[in-house]
Structures are given as structure tokens and as C-alpha cells.
Amino acid sequence: MSAEQKPEAQPVAPVVTETAAGAEAITDKPAVTAAEAPVEPKTEEPKPAEKEGSDDRNEKPAEDATAADSAAEEKSIPQTTFAKLASQLPEIKKNTGHDEMWGVKLSDDPETHVPTKIILQKYLRANDNDVAGAVKQLTAALEWRKKYNPVELVESSFDQDKFKGLGYVTTHKDGDKETVITWNIYGSVKDNKKTFGDVDAFIKWRSALMERGVQKLNLNAATVPLTDGEEDPYKVIQVHDYVSVSFFRMDPSAKAASKETINVLSTAYPELLAHKYFVNVPVIMGWMYAAMKLFVAPATLKKFHPMASGTSLAAELPEGIRASLPKAYGGQAGTVQEIGEELKLQSFVEDKTKEAVEPTSEEAPVAAVKKEKVAEETKTEETPKVDEPTVENAAADEQAKPAAEVKTA
């Protein structure tokens, strides 16, 4: 064969190549010999699995950091209504300058301090789980407690001429359970103006009675928080006895004291009332229920039960405590005055002999009194005489009279 002769071309076999995707493909393209093939740098494209793994290794630290930040941010944002209220408790205590509620020192970690948790649960329930409403009411209640200090009021002494026989607290055992009842015997009031005329004094007495009942619940020793759908064991029963009380001509001072009591108790003692029984009352109590509707939530209003006879009360209460109730209320025990606990009372006798002017250490009492009389006589002589009161002066005098002296229709 001469050098110019070329070898006869042989049939070309199909070539199997690997695609970029890693799949096999068949082609009719002839194979290129090593001599003819251009020299190209060999590049090896990573397989998908290797590529993903490489990306994961490169991006994992950044992704982990982002995920950690998101988790931390998510954890810092309260997710439940309780968590939202609990997160605001430290600020509420700071703003009000008070951290005590119903004998419990409020903790900054309500999730682990059960008594604090129960208190927050009650304020949420009283506001239908509205956090803003609960914050507002809790703030108002703490401000009120700071001003009146009902814990100290419980240990205070009250005027027996105003409040003797008016209020009692009883406890009734029923197995492991204990029912607390506060009693208001309004038929024992002898002088409406004396008992109810000073609304602030009456509110202090009434709040102390309620506080004493709450103390009997031993909330500070609670170990189990409230559970939705289950009975709340931290509540009291109230009984208001209106025997011999007229509802057709209610004293204005008694009305004013009643309205203020409803306002204070509904704000400062929410979700502590199991039921309230009004016994020995006529069927029509329009003014009382009208007052209640202004301050009390509809759900709470359903807990109120008017009863024409006091002896019917036992049938409304748990069977296990009926025998321990006073006989006047369908039980077998003594009178409420005999079995009940009353707040401390004492006689506050006004000293009418005390002179308005206090003598100094250098003056005798008689000289001080004489000096005051001389000053009064001098003042009287200097006062110009008025012949006839003018219309304007009469109107001004009428406006200056106390509300109790103004005749109402």
C-alpha cells in the first residue's frame, strides 16, 4: 500500500454519552479519534446531589442564623392572651406603684407562680379574654388597693353604732371542699343616714368584709391554676338579707352607697362571686337591678337570685353544707350572729367637751376659751347689719345647702 493510499473507512458504531443531567443517550455521531479531537480542559460538572450538598454546606450557617433569629423573635412575642397580659404585668405594677392583690404578692413570672396566674386568669375572664380590658381593670384595681389598703382595713376597727350586726363571714365544710359565704343583714340597720350617709366609710367597711371572705379562700396557697370548662374553686357566695327593709321608699343615702359598692366590688374583685342571693325581698326590685346593669357584666348578672323567703336559701346551696347553715336560712345551725365572724367593732364616742381652740403651753384652758369668746364678740360687732336677704343671696344659700337638706320630689 502506498503512502498516499488511505485505509478503507469502517462502519462507525453508535456512541454512548452521558448527558449533563446524568442520563444515558444514544447518538449516531461518529467517534472522534484522539488525533482529531481538540484538546480542551477537562471539566467535571458536579452531580445534582453533590451540588445540593455543596450549596447546603456553603449556605447552612446563614440559614441556621436566620432560623435562630426567627425562633427567638417568635418566642419573644406572646402568643396567647394570658402571655400577652403576663408580659405587661411588670409595667402595670411599676405604673401603679402597687404589687399586691387579694393578699398575693404579684410575681413577674405568672406562668410559674400559680396564685399570680389565677389572678390574671380572673381578670381575663372578667373581660372575655380582651387583654386591653384586663389591663385597664387590673390597673384600676391596683390603684384602688393602693389608696384604700383593704388588707389593713380587715384588721381595723369600725364604728359599732354604724355597722354592728350588719356583716358576717362563715365557712362550711363539704368533704375536701370549703364554701365561703359573706352575709349582709340590712334589716339590722337602725339609722340609714348614720350607716350609709358617709359613703366612703361604708365602702371601707364593705370592702373589708369582702376582703375577709377572699382571705378564707387561701388563694396564696393555690397550686393548681384555673382550667377552662372546669369549676373555679376560688369564689365566694354572698347573701343579702333585706328582712324589714322597705323597697318602696328607699333612703337616698342607701341608694348612693349601694351603687358605689357595686362599682367598687365589680372593679376590684372580679370573678370572685359564685352566686349572690337576695333573700326576704319583694318580687319587684327595679331600682336595684337597674343600678346593677350599669356596672355589672351580663354574665355576672345571671348569678343574682332574688328570693322572697330566707328559708328557701338552703335548697339553692350544695347539699353537703345545708345542715351547717343558720336555721333562718333553711339550715340546722344557730343564727348567723352566733356562727359568723364579724369585723372588729368599737364605740367611737364623739367628745363634745373638746374646745375648738387648743391652748398653748403658756395659756391655761380657761384663758384660751375666754380669749376666743372675746374675739367672737368683736367680730360680731364689726359685722354690718343686713335688713332683708336679697333674691340673689337666697338662691346662693339654697345652692350652698348640703344635698341631704334639699327636698326632693
- The full set of domain ranges for the chain reads 81-148, 150-346
Q: Which of 31, 38, 37 shows the shortest CA–CA distance to 17?
A: 31
More confident residue, 290 or 13: 290
Separation CA 21–CA 375 (nearest Å): 117
Query: For residues 23 and 162, which has the higher predicted lDDT (pLDDT)?
Result: 162
Beta bridge partners of 171: 180
pLDDT score for 409: 35
Above 50 in pLDDT, residue 19? no
* Structure confidence at residue 74 (pLDDT): 54
Q: Does position 89 have pLDDT exceeding 50, yes or no?
A: yes
Residue 68 above 80 pLDDT?
no
pLDDT surpassing 70 at residue 408: no
Task: Kindly tell me the burial class for residue 232, based on how many C-beta atoms sit within 10 Å of its own C-beta (0-12, 13-18, 19 or more).
Answer: middle
State the pLDDT at residue 116. Answer: 98
- Contacts of 130-136 with CB under 8 Å at 24 or more apart are 131/81, 131/84, 131/85, 131/88, 134/85, 135/85, 135/88, 135/92
Return the number of other C-beta atoms located less than 10 Å from residue 393's C-beta. 11
**Confidence class for position 282, pLDDT limits 50, 70, 90:** confident
Summarize pLDDT for 307-350 with one digit per residue, the tens. 889 999 999 999 999 999 999 999 999 999 999 999 999 998 75
Least trusted range by pLDDT, from 206-210, 246-250, 253-257, 260-264: 246-250
Residue 229 has pLDDT above 60, yes or no: yes
Q: Is 41 left (phi over 0), alpha (psi -120 to 50) or beta?
A: beta
pLDDT of residue 132: 97
The pLDDT value given to residue 378? 40
Checking if the pLDDT of 166 tops 70, the result is yes
Please list the residues that pair with 304 across neighbouring strands: 276
Q: Is the pLDDT of residue 118 over 70?
A: yes
Question: Is 67's pLDDT higher than 80?
Answer: no
Find all residues with CB under 8 Å of 95, minimum gap 6, and list them: 139
Q: Which residue has the higher pLDDT, 49 or 72?
A: 72
pLDDT score for 407:
35
Whether the predicted pLDDT of 384 surpasses 90:
no
Q: Residue 91 pLDDT more than 90?
A: yes
pLDDT over 50 at 193, yes or no = yes
Q: Is 171 helix (H, G, I), strand (E, B) or coil?
A: strand
Mean pLDDT of 264-271: 96
Residue 365 banded pLDDT, cuts 50, 70, 90: very low
Residue 93 clears pLDDT 50, i.e. is over it: yes
pLDDT of residue 349: 73
Instruction: Please give the pLDDT value at position 348.
Output: 85
Lowest mean pLDDT among 90-104, 241-255, 372-386: 372-386
pLDDT of 294 reads 72
pLDDT at position 368: 40
**What is the structure's pLDDT at 191?**
92
Q: How far apart are CA 212 and CA 155, in angstroms?
A: 9
Which range, 88-97, 288-297, 303-312, is most confident?
88-97
Q: Grid coordinates in use for 30?
A: 461518529
Mean pLDDT of all residues belonging to the chain = 77
> Phi and psi for 152 in degrees, rounded to 5?
-75, -30
CATH fold, domain 150-346, is Phosphatidylinositol Transfer Protein Sec14p (3.40.525)
**Alpha carbon distance 108, 86 (integer Å):** 8
- The mean per-residue pLDDT over the stretch 56-81 comes to 61
Look at residue 76 in the predicted model and tell me its pLDDT: 59
| DSSP codes of every residue in 105-144 | E--S-TTT-HHHHHHHHHHHHHTTT-HHHHHHHHHHHHHH
Nearest CA among 220, 8, 28, 231 for reference residue 107: 220
Per-residue confidence band for 119, with pLDDT thresholds at 50, 70 and 90: very high
Q: Can you give the pTM of this predicted structure?
A: 0.67
Inform me whether the pLDDT recorded for 392 exceeds 90.
no
* Cα(251)–Cα(257) distance, integer angstroms: 10
Q: Computed over its alpha carbons, how large is the radius of gyration of the chain?
A: 42
Q: How far apart are CA 233 and CA 175, in angstroms?
A: 14
